[in-house]
Each structure stands twice: as C-alpha cells, then as structure tokens.
Amino acid sequence: MAAPTRTANAAASTSTSTTSATVPAYRNDLDGLRGIAIALVACFHVWMGKVSGGVDVFLTLSGYFFIGSLLRHAIHSQSPKLGFGFAVNPWPRMKRLLRRLLPALFTVLVAVAIGTVAILPQIRWENIGAELQASALYYQNWHLAWNSQDYLAASSANSPLQHIWSMSVQGQFFLITLLSALALTGLIKLAARFVSTKIADPRVIKALVAGAVVVVALGSFYWAHRGMAINQMFNYYDTRSRLWEPLAGGLLAISLPSWRIPNWFRNVVTAVALALIVSCGFWINGVESYPGPLALVPVLSTLAIIWAGATAQQRRAHGDHATAQPMPMLNRAMASRWPVWLGSTAYGLYLWHWPVLIFYLTWHDSDQATFVEGVGILAFSLVLATLTKRFIEDPLRTGDRRQLAHGDRRGRSPWLTYASVVTAVLVAATATVGVGIKVWDRHVANITVDTANLDPRDFPGARALLNGAPVPALDPVPAPLAVIEDFPETSRRGDMSDFKDGSIHVGIYGDPTATRTIALAGGSHAEMWISALDTVGKRNHFKVKTYLKMGCPLSTNPVPRQLGQPYEQCYHWGQRVIAAIKKDRPDAVMTNSTRPRDYENGDWVPPDYTPIFDDFLSAGIPVLGIRDTPWPIRSRVDTPICLAEGGNAESCGTRRAVSLAPTDPAAELARTRPDFHALDLSNGVCDPVRCPAIVGNIIVYKDPHHLSATYVRSLTDELERQMRLAMPWMGKPTP
C-alpha cells in the first residue's frame, strides 16, 4: 500500500517555506480519489482475491504531491536572501513523515503481534516475527521478494503483514527522493555561485529536475518490463520496478499543463479515467502484469484525473477568476463529503483491513470470506481505522501545527505532549514485541530433532504403506513445530552449498573406510535421500560422497532458474561437479531422474537431465536415477502449517495424480540404457490415490516439498532393496 495519507496533499498547501502564489490550492477531489482507491483495494482483497490497481493510484498520487512540494522548496531555496548553503534540510520533512506514518503503523504491528500469538499456530510465529521487523523498518517488500511470497487471494495461510510491502516501497521512495533533492539543490546552489546565476532560474531548475525524473522513470519502467520475463514474483515487490509510478506523478507536478480546455472534454477525461481505475482490476491480472506496461492503465488514469481538475484551481490560485473554469462534475463529486471522509481514513483502513481479514479466516478455518462476513470485516476495519485516525493520526498531525503556535520563540514545543506520550508508548510496545520475537526465534533455533532411533513398531512410517505394518494410536513425530528443523545430515554438517556459494563441499558418509563409493549429486531433492543412503552405505560397506547445492539439480541448461531468477552459478557448479565425479570414478552416481511438471499434472524426465546421465554412462559410471517425490506445494499445501492449524493426514495430504504420472517416466531410459537404474520410492510416500501428510505416525514433509529426514529414514529398507537389485555387488564382501 502506498501509505494513502493526506500528508503530501497537506504539505502542498500548508508549507511555511513557500509563498501562497506558488502553492496550488488544496485538492479535495484527490482525497476523494484516495477514498475510491482504498475501497477498491479492500473490496478486491476481501471478496475477489485480486489486485485492484488501487495501490498504483496511491503511488502516483504520492509522487505528484511529494515531488511537487520538494520542487517548490528547491526553487524557493535559491533566493539570494537565503545565502549559501544546502537548500533542502531533510530532517524537518522526514520528522513530519515519521510522526504521521509510524505511530499508526506501530499500533497495527503491536496488534498483529498480539493476534499472531492468540490466533495463529506457533509454527508461523518465526516468519511473522521477521515480517514485523521488516515492516517496522520499511523493507517488507524486499523481505517478501526474496522469500517469493505470492500476493494472490487472501487465505488463512497468508501473512497478516503481507500488504505492508507497498508502504515500504513508498517509504524508500520518500527517502531516495528527499536525499536526491538535497543533493541536487546543493549542486544547483554551488553552480549558481561559481558558474552562473542563471542556473538558479526556476525554469532551469524545473528542466533539470524533469530531466532527472524522466531518465530514472524510464529506467525503472524498463526494469519492470524486463523483470516480468525473469521473475515476476520478485518483480512485483521490487522498488526499482515500482519507482516509475510515483515518478510519473512527480513529472506531472513538475510540468502540469494549464491549457484552457473545454469543460465537457475534462468531464469526459475524468469519466473515462475513473471507469478504467474502477474496472481494471476485473480485466487485468495485476499479480502477473504489474508493475509492467499494463500498470499504465491505473497510473495514466490517475494522472488524467489530476490534470482534469487542476486548471481551474491553478487559475483561481493565481487570482485569474475571470478565466477560471469550473471543476469537472466528477471531480466535484469526488470532492464531496463521503469520498473525502473515506479518503481521510484510507491510511488506517489499509493498515487494518488485511490483518483483520487474515486473522478472521484463520480463526474461522476458511480460505474465503462470504459476502456477509466481508461486510463485517470491512465494517470492523473501518471502525479501527476511524479510532486510529481520531486518537493516533490527528493528534500527531495537529501537533505539527501547534508547535509554532505554542512553542517558544525558537519553535520548540513542550516535551510532554499527547503526541510525545503516544509515540513513546508505541515505541516501547514495539520494542517489547521485538524482544519477544528474538526470544522466540532463539527458542525455535534451539529445537533439536532426534528421531534417528525410533522404534519401528511404534513409528513404522513408510513401512505402513510398503509392508502393511500396523500403526498404533500415537501422536506423530516430529511435532509440526519441530519438523521444520528436521534437516538432512548434510545440511547440519555444512556439506550443502547454499545459493551464493559456488564451491563444492564434498561430504563423506556411509562406511568411510570402504573401497567402493557411490556419489550423491544434485540439489536439495537429491540431498534429502542422504538420511537413508548413509545407513544403506554402512550396512553394505560402501562410502557415500556428496556433491550438493541448493536448488541445483544436474542439468545441461546453461541458464537455469531458481524461483524464476537466473541461476547461472548453478550451471557452472554442475559442470565442475560432473568433471570431479568422472575423475573420481565412483561405482555409481545417484541423482534425481524426474521432476513434477510446471504447468500440468504428473512428472517427467526434463530433456536437460538425459545428457547428464549419458555423460556418466559413457564414462563407465552407472547411474541410479531416483524419482522425485510429490510436491504438496503443487496443491498449495504446506504440510507443517496445515497440521499445526488443526489439519490431519488426509486434509493436509495431496492427490497422487497431481505430481506423479501413473508410472515412473525414467523407466523408459532404463530399458534403453543397461547401466541406468530407475529407483522409484513413490509407493512409500503415497497410496494409489493419495499422498497423506502423516504416514505410520511420522510427518512426511518438513516444508512445502521436502521430505522430513525422519520419514526418509523409514524408507531405508526399500531404498536398499531397490539398490541391491540394481547393484549386485551390494551386500557381498568387499574384494
């Protein structure tokens, strides 16, 4: 959300450092436009699960008011009466922004922290704790981008702070713009003093600022368009991709034309623009399209509404009442009581409506609100927004105006005021929440999972599916909060290269003294088998050497992607691993042979896997191609969260056919390549129809698509059986 407060609009008309002749009249119709935009945002979130385009309206309005205000300050500061010095002092303006934005935000953050503990399962506390910090420090958009949160329809699994991303974008825009204005005006004053005073001419300043804005806006627009093809999920939150929207508003503020256009034409422009803003959420998929070229629809529509209502007010502000035109009819309608009132609560309503929605859906155990429920959610959110405005926002905003009226001659106000008390309480509460988050994070980090020696009679795991082992009535292990820490041994020992680590970390498992070796290579879906392969190696007297990197299956794809982003390091790492394995000449190499399809049900052998297999085979190294397991994330299931929220083995499970074909797609390779052996443990994870979340009293998945190490250990016997069929030397004395 682009912090839809009246801060920028008010600043445009109440600045103490600009003359009345240069300050545009207050635009009540734009407050009304804010009201329409927040209504669209809230309604689309609650009932339609789509992006409305309202956020883009807020961003554009923010740029129009903020850059316009800074430009007037920059021009005024070049007056010879002000002498030499930096023209724009960032602190007073930044202090006003912080006072008007942070208290309401902190109020909501404290409420969200309380609601999280009271309503959400413990397994989600750590993630929401990180988002509380990211929201308070205005980097929530980057946090979500790097964690690839999908801003789609609200559900009980969504974060109650996901919507703060756009406020973070706006806060970063304010800071970047303010510092840029400080630097630019300082350079202009230096140039005016040492080069030519003509540089300080308002027309020159406007031209310089406009040029800088155009260059940055075009670069941002290009970056947004480029990002759609690379990683749209990341692109959606990227500040660099969003900057062009407020800069478009700023460009209009710099060069707002004052042409005398017939009023009927302005009415048509406003009508068309307003219709596009209201309707674009229905015919544009914003999550897939914004902030790319289609975002021009709400952005240009907002600019058109600003322009349509501006000329009349411009002329009146300059005393030209004879030629002043009446404001277009729809602009007057937007300036009426109810739209303006709704616009005045927009900031608070945006802050409150999303967490209220998410907490309600979680408490009610549903993924969508009915019409009646939605009305109640919006009404309650509006009450909270009104109370926040009345007791938090307004007193602090009034404090800015009272400071000069009641302070001493140096402009200082009494230290003990309503504003100072409220701010201090909120800061203390937020700090307390932060300490609590750190304590909880430390508690979660210290959770240990020790399930290596479970009694198979009590916890048969995969044996229940494979061998029909009886399952006693016991609570499953690990618990949902603990299973998220149930990592394979390679991750615990540091034998797994992370996304940024291009080095090869070779781990030794199984029987370290054995002369026979099996190499385990690939990404995390190969890594998870080490928990069984380690035991198989010890039993059968072979050494296991691991070559593993996060998100990096062995492939010939020169530009692989991870979460939609180019992952070139993966290809180069893989080529070096292949060379290292061929040089080492193990008795076999185990790696993934399949992957679930991206856009349809079932799994397949990606065409860039097969050349890797053939490369090993041509070097005389047999290949154990292990079929990938089903990915519950394909069915939008995160097993630990689902179970922690009260789900069971069936409700948190998935259909087998979603991720798996009827037979192992790699079996065809085995028929044409004698030394390629297809290993398929799917029947140890799924029954013929379903893939349950709990099997044999063991939770199957540790996250949306990785098996828990505990469950993999229950597959050890089946993995050993299939490997012995493929490798006859297993189980025999070492020569």
pLDDT per position as a tens digit, 511-530 = 999 999 999 999 999 999 99
Which residues are 591's β-sheet partners?
625
Domain ranges of the chain: 7-397+406-441, 483-630+656-680+703-726
**pLDDT, greater one: 616 or 436:** 616
| C-beta separation of 56 from 291 below 8 A | yes
Name the band, by pLDDT with cuts 50, 70 and 90, for residue 559.
Answer: confident
Q: What is the mean pLDDT of residues 414-432?
A: 61
Alpha-carbon gap, residue 498 to 441, rounded angstroms: 21
pLDDT > 70 fraction of the chain, expressed in percent and rounded: 82
Residue 430, pLDDT > 70, answer: no
pLDDT band at residue 310, thresholds of 50, 70 and 90? confident
Containing 329, the helix (H) or strand (E) segment is helix 329-334
Mean pLDDT of 597-607: 91
Distances (CA, A) of 63 to 70, 237, 254, 257, 728: 10, 18, 11, 17, 71
C-alpha to C-alpha distance for 173 and 167, rounded to whole angstroms: 10
Distances (CA, A) of 182 to 54, 97, 196, 217, 408: 30, 16, 20, 19, 28
Is the domain spanning 483-630+656-680+703-726 CATH 1.10.1240.10? The answer is no
191 contact partners, CB below 8 Å, separation of at least 6: 199
Residue 425 pLDDT greater than 90, yes or no: no
Which tens digits make up the pLDDT trace of 116-140?
888 887 777 878 888 988 998 899 9
Categorize the per-residue pLDDT at 76 as very low, low, confident or very high, splitting at 50, 70 and 90. low
192-206, 438-452, 588-602: lowest mean pLDDT where? 438-452
- Residue 724 in this model has a pLDDT that exceeds 50: yes
Res. 323: pLDDT tops 70: no
**Paired tokens of 102:** 């942070």
Confidence of residue 276 (pLDDT cuts 50, 70, 90): very high
399 — pLDDT class (breaks 50, 70, 90):
low
pLDDT of residue 80: 45
257: how many CB neighbours lie within 10 A of its CB?
Answer: 10
Tokens of 558: 């020169």
Helix 125-136 to helix 90-119 angle (10° resolution) is: 170
pLDDT value for 161: 92
The pLDDT confidence band at residue 229, using thresholds 50, 70 and 90, is: confident
N-term to C-term CA, the chain: 69
The residue whose two tokens read 């839809």 is: 4
Q: What is the per-residue pLDDT for 475?
A: 86
Residue 703: CB atoms within 10 Å = 17
Query: Is the Cβ–Cβ distance between 496 and 531 less than 8 Å?
Result: no
- What does the pLDDT average to over 4-12? 52
Q: What is the pLDDT of residue 217?
A: 96
CB atoms within 10 A of CB 636: 14
* pLDDT for res 391: 85
DSSP count for the chain of H helices, then E strands: 32, 15
The pLDDT tens digits of the residues spanning 382-391 come to 999 999 998 8
Query: How far is the C-alpha of 75 from the C-alpha of 336, rounded, in Å?
Result: 33
CB 228 within 8 A of CB 217: no
393 or 268: whose pLDDT is higher? 268
Question: Token pair of 656, please?
Answer: 């087998």
Lowest mean pLDDT among 114-118, 562-566, 588-592: 562-566
DSSP conformation letters of 355-382: HHHHHHHHHHT-SS--HHHHHHHHHHHH
Cα 536 from chain centroid (whole Å): 41
Task: Count CA atoms closer than 13 A to 620's CA, side-chain side.
Answer: 4
Whether the predicted pLDDT of 379 surpasses 80? yes
pLDDT tens digit sequence for 17-66 = 444 445 567 788 999 999 999 999 999 999 988 889 999 999 999 999 99
Q: Say how many C-beta atoms besides its own lie within 10 A of residue 408's C-beta.
A: 8
Q: What pLDDT score does 715 carry? A: 97
Q: How confident is the model at residue 68 (pLDDT cuts 50, 70, 90)?
A: confident
Is the predicted pLDDT of residue 423 greater than 80, yes or no? Answer: no
pLDDT of residue 403: 46
Q: What is the pLDDT of residue 404?
A: 39
CB atoms within 10 A of CB 559: 9
Please report where in the chains the tokens 């072979």 appear, as a residue: 542
**For residue 83, pLDDT beyond 60:** no
Burial class (CB in 10 A: 0-12, 13-18, 19+), 565: middle
Higher pLDDT, 270 or 11: 270
Instruction: Tell me which range, 7-11, 389-393, 433-437, 491-495, is most confidently predicted by mean pLDDT.
Output: 491-495
At residue 558, the pLDDT reads 87
Q: 213, 121, 55: which is closest to 644 by C-alpha?
A: 121
Above 80 in pLDDT, residue 576? yes
pLDDT-derived band of residue 723, with 50, 70 and 90 as boundaries? Answer: very high
Confidence (pLDDT) at 454? 85
Instruction: Provide the pLDDT for residue 19.
Output: 43
What rounded mean pLDDT belongs to the chain?
A: 84
What pTM was computed for the model? Answer: 0.74
What confidence tens digit (pLDDT) does each residue in 606-624 have?
Answer: 999 999 999 999 999 999 9
Of 240 and 566, the structure prediction assigns the larger pLDDT to 240
- What tens digit of pLDDT does each residue of 710-719 get? 999 999 999 9
pLDDT tens, position by position, 196-211 = 767 767 788 888 889 9
Give yes or no for residue 401 having a pLDDT over 60.
no
